[in-house]
Amino acid sequence: MNTNSTINDLQIISLPRIEDRRGNLSVIEKDIIPFEFKRVYYLYDVPGGAERGGHAHKNLQQFLIALSGSFEVVLHDGKDEKTVTLNIPNKGLLLPKGIWRELKNFSSGAVCLVIASEVYLEDDYIRDFDEFVKFKMV
């Protein structure tokens, strides 16, 4: 299992934006993100000051979009940290496996859509930061 991913492997991917006087439309088709997806979920009604995440995945790749509002994603690769703000519904963050993430500073009404490469599997999570750092050193 490749655990070598770093914050330099993070990518912002732009989605098509079809503008219309009736409103805009964006689409995620299979070739836009570089994995086949098996699951879609979303975070919403996040209370002010709440934080989500606080874990890494051993194998899961994900694509995160702020469908509405904004939030910050704090990312760590075991050595370096980077914060990405998501606030545009046609730009998403491609998150490789083996990256620690914390989601914070959700605006009122923010919705985080997540497209995931795998079904939900608790065994794929590393929820302890020290354990994550050890995992990255293997």
* Residues binding ligand T46 (CB under 6 A): 39, 41, 43, 52-53, 62, 101, 103, 114, 120
Compare residues 17 and 120 and give the one whose CB is closer to ligand T46: 120
Q: Where are the alpha helices (DSSP H) in the chain?
A: 129-137
Question: What is the rounded distance in angstroms from the CA atom of residue 60 to the CA atom of residue 2?
Answer: 12
Tell me whether residue 55 is one of the annotated catalytic residues.
Answer: yes
C-beta of 15 vs 115, nearer to ligand T46? 115
Provide the b/e sequence for 102-121 (b: ≥16 CB within 10 Å).
bbbbbeeebbbbbbbbbeee
66 and 88 Cβ atoms separated by less than 8 Å: yes
CB 80 within 8 A of CB 87: no
- For ligand T46, the closer of residues 19 and 54 by Cβ is 54
Q: Which of 55, 58, 82, 104 is catalytic?
A: 55
Catalytic residues: 55
